[in-house]
Amino acid sequence: MSMMGELTYFLGLQVKQAKNGIFIHQSKYCTDLLKKFKMLDCKEATTHMATNCYLDLDEAGKDVDQKMYGGMIRSLLYLTTSRLDIMHNMCLCARFQSSPKESHLIAVKRILKYLKGTKSLRLWYPNGTNVFLEGYSDYDFGGCKLDRKSTGGTCHLLGSSLVSWYSKKQACVTLSTIGAEYITARSYCAQSLWIKSQLEDYGIVLDHIPLKCDNTSAINLAKILFFIRKPSILK
């Protein structure tokens, strides 16, 4: 690999190395994607989904080409390697690949219109920063119109660098916002422990990994369960 020179492009990922850090982006892949689906000359959109857009099966809607729709979904899912801003909406649109309707295709094209105006967005990984791990979690309570399940999402930052993120529909139906937030926070903790173990292989030991959560009740629930499982702390 050293004979090939400095890494600039790998599997659709563009890498720009500077003295103070590294940029990672997929602007070329994004351009090729727009060209492939004939959206290169489309009008740009400022957001990737309308605030009043709630997708469902739309059984009365007009059918669209399943093969084309599936191809768009798979191509866009690979783009989430560096574009976490579209991950939640992409996972939402991906649920309707078995029987796509015109309303689902419109939602996917809205994402493509948004990408046209934001192709230059990239991830920045600076060097020389302090090594600490922290993260954020949030949820969409009962957001799925099909089964009323919530969708949770988390992201992890190592220093000021984004290293892990995901958006996933929860396996069960929660009856309160506390439950939905707690389930998401639990997934965050599992991912944090995995990252912590990986860092230990490089001699980096972290004994404090904060989680930023905006649900006070879920935070209090986590504290109560912690004290129940650690009775020695109460002595």
Q: Which CATH architecture has domain 129-234?
A: 2-Layer Sandwich (3.30)
Contact (CB, 8 A) for 46 and 54: no
How much is the pLDDT for 139? Answer: 78
What is the pLDDT of the chain when averaged over all its residues? 83
109 compared with 10, residue with greater pLDDT: 109
Distance CA 103, CA 93 (A): 10
What are the two backbone dihedrals, phi and then psi, of residue 10, each rounded to the nearest 5 degrees? Answer: -155, 115
Instruction: Please say if the pLDDT value at position 34 is more than 80.
Output: yes
User: In this predicted structure, what is the pLDDT of residue 235?
Assistant: 38
Distance of CA 13 to the CA centre of its chain: 17
pLDDT at site 73: 93
Those residues whose C-beta lies under 8 Å from the C-beta of residue 42, and which sit 6 or more positions away, are: 34, 109, 112, 113, 116
Instruction: Say whether pLDDT at 123 is over 80.
Output: yes
**Residue corresponding to tokens 């948004």:** 114
pLDDT winner (highest mean) among 6-10, 65-69, 218-222: 65-69
Smallest CA-to-CA distance from 19 within 162, 127, 130 is with 127
pLDDT at 110: 92
132, containing H or E segment = none
**Residue 109 vs residue 187, higher pLDDT:** 109
pLDDT score at 68: 92
Kindly state the average pLDDT of the residues 159-178: 82
Q: Which two tokens stand for residue 57?
A: 């099966």
Q: What is the CA radius of gyration of the chain?
A: 21
Average pLDDT over residues 35-41: 90
* Among 85, 80, 94, residue whose Cα is nearest residue 114: 85
Sign of the torsion angle spanned by Cα atoms 105, 108, 110, 115: negative
CA 134 – CA 156 distance, rounded (Å): 6
Boundaries of every domain in the chain = 2-117, 129-234
pLDDT (0 to 100) of residue 2: 63
**146 touches 174 (CB < 8 A):** no
Structure pTM? 0.79
Q: Helix (H, G, I), strand (E, B), or coil: what is residue 101?
A: strand
Report, as an integer, the average pLDDT of 154-166.
86
- Residue 233's pLDDT is 39
- Over residues 188-229, the pLDDT tens digits come to 888 888 989 998 988 888 888 888 877 777 777 777 766 555
